Amino acid sequence: MATRIRAHDWAGGPLGPIKGWPQSLRTAVEIIVGSGHAMQLAWGAERIVLYNDAYAPMLGERHPVALGRPFRDAWPDVWEEIVPLVDKVFAGETVRFEDMPLVMTRHGYPEETWWNFSYSPVRDEMGAVAGLLNVTVDATPKIRAEHAEAALRDSEARLRDLADTLEQKVAARTAERDRMWDTSPDLMVEASLEGVYQRANPAWRSVLGYEPADVVGSTAADFTHPDDMKLMFGALATVQTDRLPSVNLRFRHRDGSYCWIQWVAAPSAGLIFAIGRDVTVAVDAAKHLRETEEALRQSQKMEAVGQLTGGLAHDFNNLLAGISGSLELMQTRLQQGRFNDVERYMAAAQGASKRAAALTHRLLAFSRRQTLDPRPTDANRLAVDMQEMIQRTVGPAITIEVVGASGVWPALVDPSQLENALLNLCINARDAMPDGGRITVETANKWLDERAARQQGMPEGQYLVLSVTDTGTGMPPEVIEHVFEPFFTTKPLGEGTGLGLSMIYGFAQQSGGQVRIYSEVGNGTTVSIYLPRYYGAVPDESEDALANPLPRSEQGETVLVVDDEPTVRMLVTDVLEDLGYTAIEAGDSVAGLKLLQSDTRIDLLVTDVGLPGGMNGRQMADAARVTRPNLKVLFITGYAENSAVGNGHLAPGMAVMSKPFAVDMLAARIRSLIEASRGMSTIRHSGQPTLDRP
Ligand code: ADP
Ligand code: MG
């Protein structure tokens, strides 16, 4: 700055050339230029500015043009504020500022700085104030130190506050926990992460009968019921790292009984803290409730079964009375020689037997254990054949339409059961149309792919569908939900048995199919029976044979009858002999097999399934087929022996009939079986392939 001041063109300005400057100005300039402190001088009426090197940065961009300029040009932005102070100095006063903040670029970047100023008057040779000396001291280090100290104090204070609140909180928590620990009705325990109890609260005494001090050192395994052990160890594994939501465990009371404890637990600071509530009362109550409900359901079921059994016993009694009464009367008439009346009693006895047979069938179907005789069946023909009977059953107010799809697949199903089901569906339809309406019986082929099958809950494959649609009341969903339940009926007492649809359901399931209901309230109902497709043609069977008088033996064929019940054996033998067959009898499986393994001529085996002698009828037949592979077999079953004969899936050349049966049916079955074997041997001779099935 000394150089600049010397080089400056002062001559054109108010101060004039340096050599003309008064001594007071020269001295002042020498002081500032020689000082290491930032100093500025404002001289004369124009307050012309001179400054030293230390002061230059304070002027920023205005250095060096500020040199030799009036104060107001060097400091235009603060001049307004400063002018009263400057005036005071020129009036002879000294002015001081402490810690004035100023943003300054001294090291290549703007930074906040603080300054102490003093403005003091400089007098000329006459003693008048001619200039103003501004001495500036950098207060930045001092202020920075102050700030740092203040910040430190501040954070210290805050830390202290924080510590205080934390301490308070922890204290409050601990107090609360201690209070709870002592007064809680719930078990509390602190355990190591391995599950060893370190501390137990007094509730252990009231809930489980143990002194808390005695609990210390034991583990949950010492108290847990053996059946809950696995659950407990699982919970312990969880709580070593995680909160345990809630787990119910049976803990042993000191008296040996068990209490249900609902535990919640969490790991905390290397320990496990657990709270257990005694919920024995609630758990037991729930269990009692369940047991009561179960008992109620059971008693309802028993009552229903009781009603059914009662009703059946009554029906059977009536039927038996009809049969035995007729037989007694027959005996009397025969003794009296009044042969004409015999026929009438016989008819009565037969009628009663048929009704009894129908009743047992219904029951077996309902129990899904009826003996089914699935055969390739043309549903179209079955529906058309049934039409007249349906019409007679439902009355003239209802129109029946049978719509048989053309090219319909044969179904593999017991045709007489299907007839029964169809009739039942039509009776339900009639009941839903008290004022008349229309029943449509339809058939259709349905191919269920995997997805459709899954939706319908059946195996994928091809099905024949027989549907019955009515224009009746329809069913709301809450009725549909229950219709397959046995005994479910919405009909008045005495009118509905609630067995129709449950029987159809059982029958369809047992046949490898399904029943589906579609219904709209007020519009009507469709019930569809899905039956598995039979791959092959429907053989033109016994229909014609049935219509004809009883078929008679043609070649003196021999039939072996095996049954342990002498009356049945006698009856079957009599029928066979009437028809011209030779009958051989055996009373058990051993005797039967002996005959079968001899070289006696046997064209057909008629056998009971349940037999004494160590083998059932099916096993005996299989053993016989080792030496007589083409032996025809007719099983006669009395009850649920379905599984014994193969659940309706019989080997070729085998057939099944359920007891009781009409004599003409038996004759027709025997005839068709023997004829099939006869036809087969003919075909065998000509070397043609054959369908080895009756
Ligand atoms: P039941 O005919 O003896 O009542 P079902 O098992 O045959 O027993 O039928 C059970 C119930 O299903 C009936 O009581 C009736 O409410 C309802 N239902 C069956 N078929 C139909 C139908 N076609 N239309 C309306 N409701 C029906
Ligand atoms: Mg019904």
How does pLDDT run across 474-489, given as a tens digit for each residue?
999 999 988 988 778 8
Instruction: Report CA(405)–ligand 2 centroid distance (Å).
Output: 26
Which ligand 1 atom minimizes the distance to the CA of 484?
6
Q: Is 228 or 688 the better-scoring residue by pLDDT?
A: 228
The total of other beta-carbon atoms located within 10 Å of residue 555's CB is 10
Mean pLDDT of 542-568: 66
> Looking at ligand 1, which residue's alpha carbon is closest to its atom 17?
483
Give the pLDDT confidence of 272-299 residue by residue, as tens digits: 989 998 888 777 777 787 776 666 666 6
Proximal ligand: closest to the CA of 488: 1
Give 164 or 249, the one with higher predicted confidence. 249
pTM above 0.85, yes or no: no
Interval between CA 532 and ligand 1 midpoint (Å): 25
- Mean pLDDT (whole number) for 369-379: 79
pLDDT recorded at residue 312: 67
Of all residues in the chain, the percent with pLDDT exceeding 90 is 36
Q: Is the CB of 322 under 6 A from ligand 1?
A: no
Which has the closest alpha carbon to 637: 691, 688, 563? 563
The whole-number pLDDT of residue 487 equals 73
Ligand 1, residues 469, 483, 495: which to mutate, most atoms within 8 A of Cβ? 483
Say yes or no: CB of residue 86 within 6 Å of ligand 1: no
First and final CA of the chain: distance in angstroms? 134
Bigger pLDDT: 146 vs 647: 146
Tell me the pLDDT tens digit for each residue of 398-427: 999 999 888 889 999 988 889 889 988 999
| C-beta 473 within 6 A of ligand 1 | yes
Reported as a pLDDT band with limits 50, 70 and 90, residue 212 is very high
Q: Which residue has the higher pLDDT, 471 or 672?
A: 471
Nearest to 608 by CA among 582, 586, 629: 586
Number of H helices, E strands in the chain: 22, 22
The kind and range of the H/E element at 136 are strand 129-138
- Tell me, in angstroms, the distance from the centre of ligand 2 to residue 479's CA: 13
For residues 346-362, average pLDDT: 78
Residue nearest to atom 14 of ligand 1 (CA): 489
Among 255-264, 324-333, 598-607, 649-658, name the one with the lowest average pLDDT: 649-658
Q: What are phi and psi of 121, to 5 degrees?
A: -70, 145
List the shell of residues around ion ligand 2, using CB closer than 5 Å.
428, 500
User: CB count, 10 Å around CB of 48?
Assistant: 22
Residue among 257, 261, 252 nearest 280 (CA): 261
Q: Please tell me the total number of residues recorded for the chain in this structure.
A: 694
Confidence grade of residue 570 (pLDDT, cut at 50, 70, 90) = confident
Q: What is the pLDDT of residue 686?
A: 30
| Chain centroid, CA 38 distance in Å | 86
**Beta bridge partner(s), residue 532:** 463
The Cα–Cα gap between 496 and 487 comes to 8
Q: Which atom of ligand 1 is nearest to the CA of 501?
A: 6
For 575-612, the pLDDT digits (tens) are: 788 778 888 999 999 999 999 999 888 989 999 888 88
Rounded to the nearest 10 degrees, what angle do helices 500-510 and 339-366 cross at? 70
Residue 227 near residue 242, CB atoms below 8 Å? no
The single-letter DSSP state of residue 63 is T
Q: Is the CB of 432 under 6 A from ligand 1?
A: yes
Percent of the chain having pLDDT more than 70? 87
How far away, in angstroms, is 103 Cα from ligand 2 center? 102
Residue 48 pLDDT > 90: yes
Question: Residue type at 213?
Answer: A
Q: Is 106 helix (H, G, I), strand (E, B) or coil?
A: coil
What is the structure's pLDDT at 461?
87
**Distance from the CA of 490 to the center of ligand 1, in angstroms?**
7
Mean per-residue pLDDT over the chain, rounded: 83
Does 315 have pLDDT greater than 90?
no
Provide mean pLDDT across the span 629-643.
73
Calculate how far, in angstroms, residue 634's C-alpha sits from the geometric centre of ligand 1.
37
**Range in 16-30, 145-159, 530-544 the model is least confident about:** 530-544
Q: Which atom of ligand 1 sits closest to the CA of residue 428? A: 20
* Band of pLDDT at residue 687, cut at 50, 70 and 90: very low
pLDDT at 639: 53
Instruction: Give the residue from 130, 100, 143 showing the smallest Cα distance to 118.
Output: 100
